[in-house]
């Protein structure tokens, strides 16, 4: 039988707010994985991801990402997205993920994800993204609604992983191409700028990684499927589970065995074996001479018994939304600390001038927020527009420079009010009072 979430030990609500020893974590390899807060977490997510998260957190420093930035590549109702995000956190904890051992956080709470995305965008050719299988599939189904976010999805996924120096990334079969893309991007960046990124390894469990739809056994079971009868959600009531299994697609005949020519019953046998922990051959032998009806009835009972403890723990945990927010806030602090170190190395590698925060992190020096660090000399008086342009003057810019130099001192006053670094290219952009 699949290890019960209760075997994780301790009260999950207490574990969610306890703080572990950070020094102990540093000697452990790091595991990074994530799920989009879309649809309904279902038994396939437990079998393919959450079960392995619980196992790996005992031996790995763990970062568990709620990928809400990825989620909006498909239109989302804002209220539903917020509700599901908290629901997923509660289900993580109910399934045995320990917020003391691991870091649970929202992608949108860590700005470094999108900051690194931009840098990586500048080293990834468009052709590589156009060849991604999932993108091509979605273009083929609905080309009119494809947008840049969906096109750029693999680069953001690469940023998600590389920011944390992950040693191990659990992925399903459908994400192997994205994982290999991430490794390729890391190697390419390191080739250009030095050894900045650790090259992560994919972790694909040998069993229980691919359950198919109950109504469409030729397609992978998905929590975002528009047909809810295609999956068993972790929060489905017992009567709903019984109905979904009873109406699940089988095949002609009545023999209960795994066979490529019988995808429906083969999928149900896989589900049975995954939840019970039994060998497929033992299941075959038990149901020799028995029909689909009895098999489905037993499978439904097995799933209901398995989901019961998860649902009970979920009800208790979800009743305390303040605690769930605290889990996410603490997770965001841990994730920001780790990711900002990586981002700082990236920025230095590509030639960006470090800011005060970068200096503090790399020197190890602590200082109060109101202390001024003389790390980068800053001119007392900002240069006027024509003075700044003179350092890159060419024949084509002489007329512009001459016109700018002829302006009154009001221009300099405008520049002082606007900015000291001059990211404005025209007087109209720079005029703050108009």
Is the distance from CB of 70 to CB of 23 less than 8 angstroms? Answer: no
Distances (CA, A) of 106 to 38, 326, 327, 377: 13, 12, 10, 37
Percent of the chain at pLDDT exceeding 70: 71
Q: Look at residue 206 in the predicted model and tell me its pLDDT.
A: 62
C-alpha–C-alpha distance, residues 408 and 416, integer Å: 14
Between CA 355 and CA 376 the distance in angstroms is: 8
Say what the pLDDT of residue 261 is: 84
- Backbone φ, ψ for residue 198 (5° rounding): -80, 140
Question: Rounded to whole angstroms, how far apart are CA atoms 53 and 32?
Answer: 9
Amino acid 141: pLDDT = 62
Instruction: State the pLDDT at residue 313.
Output: 97
Residues whose CB falls within 8 Å of the CB of residue 371, separated by 6 or more in sequence, listed in order: none
Contact 214, 232 (CB under 8 A): yes
Specify the 3-state DSSP secondary structure of 359: helix
At residue 13, the pLDDT reads 40
Contact at 8 Å (CB) between 89 and 106?
Answer: no
Q: For 103, list phi and psi in degrees, rounded to 5.
A: -110, 115
pLDDT at 409: 41
Q: What are phi and psi of 207, to 5 degrees?
A: -130, 155
Structural tokens at position 235: 């929060």
pLDDT of residue 224: 85
| Contacts of residue 343, Cβ cutoff 8 Å, sequence gap at least 6 | 112, 115, 116, 163
Q: In the prediction, which pLDDT does 27 show? A: 73
Cβ atoms 67, 160 nearer than 8 A? yes
Residue ranges for the chain with pLDDT beneath 50: 3, 6-25, 359-360, 362-397, 400-401, 403-434
**pLDDT at 2 (0 to 100):** 54
C-alpha–C-alpha distance, residues 206 and 172, integer Å? 10
331 burial (CB, 10 Å; 0-12 / 13-18 / 19+) is buried
What DSSP element (H or E) covers 31?
A: strand 30-35
- Strands in 150-268 per DSSP E: 168-170, 201-203
Q: Taking Cα atoms as reference points, which of 232, 237, 222 lies closest to residue 271? A: 232
Active site residues: 138, 220, 223
Query: For residues 120 and 155, is the Cβ–Cβ distance under 8 A?
Result: yes
Which pLDDT does position 166 carry in this prediction?
Answer: 93
pLDDT reported for residue 373: 37
Q: How far apart are CA 35 and CA 411, in angstroms?
A: 52
Domains and CATH numbers, the chain: 5-204+320-349 (3.40.50.620), 228-315 (1.10.240.10), 385-430 (no CATH)
């Amino acid at each position: 039988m699949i290890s019960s979430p209760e075997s994780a030990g301790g009260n999950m609500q207490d574990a969610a707010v306890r703080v572990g020893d950070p020094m102990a974590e540093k000697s452990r390899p790091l595991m990074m994985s994530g799920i989009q807060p879309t649809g309904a977490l279902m038994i396939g997510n437990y079998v393919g991801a959450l079960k392995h998260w619980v196992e790996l957190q005992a031996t790995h420093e763990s970062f568990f990402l709620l990928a809400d930035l990825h989620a909006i590549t498909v239109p989302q109702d804002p209220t539903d997205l917020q509700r599901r995000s908290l629901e997923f956190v509660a289900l993580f904890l109910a399934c045995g993920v320990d917020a003391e051992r691991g870091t649970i956080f929202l992608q949108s709470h860590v700005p470094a994800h999108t900051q690194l995305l931009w840098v990586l965008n500048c080293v990834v050719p468009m052709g590589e993204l156009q060849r991604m299988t999932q993108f091509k599939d979605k273009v083929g189904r609905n080309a009119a609604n494809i947008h840049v976010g969906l096109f750029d999805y693999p680069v953001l996924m690469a940023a998600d992983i590389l920011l944390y120096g992950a040693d191990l990334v659990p992925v399903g079969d459908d994400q192997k191409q994205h994982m290999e893309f991430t490794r390729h991007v890391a190697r390419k960046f390191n080739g250009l700028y030095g050894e900045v990124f650790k090259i992560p390894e994919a972790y694909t469990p040998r069993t229980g990684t691919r359950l198919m739809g109950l109504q469409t056994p030729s397609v992978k079971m998905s929590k975002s499927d528009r047909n809810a009868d295609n999956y068993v959600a972790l929060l489905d009531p017992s009567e709903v589970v019984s109905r979904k299994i009873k109406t699940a697609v089988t095949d002609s005949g009545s023999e209960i065995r795994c066979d490529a020519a019988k995808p429906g019953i083969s999928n149900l046998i896989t589900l049975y074996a995954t939840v019970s922990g039994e060998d497929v051959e033992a299941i075959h032998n038990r149901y020799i001479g028995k029909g689909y009806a009895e098999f489905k009835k037993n499978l439904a009972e097995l799933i209901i018994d398995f989901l019961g403890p998860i649902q009970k723990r979920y009800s208790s945990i979800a009743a305390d939304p303040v605690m769930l927010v605290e889990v996410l806030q603490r997770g965001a602090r841990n994730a920001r600390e780790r990711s900002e170190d990586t981002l700082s190395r990236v920025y230095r590698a590509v030639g960006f001038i470090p800011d005060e925060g970068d200096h503090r992190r790399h020197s190890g020096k602590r200082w109060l927020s109101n202390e001024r660090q003389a790390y980068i000399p800053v001119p007392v008086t900002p240069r006027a527009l024509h003075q700044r342009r003179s350092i890159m003057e060419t024949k084509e810019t002489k007329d512009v420079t001459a016109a700018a130099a002829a302006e009154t001192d009001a221009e300099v006053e405008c520049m002082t009010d606007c900015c000291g670094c001059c990211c404005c290219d025209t007087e109209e952009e720079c005029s703050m009072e108009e």
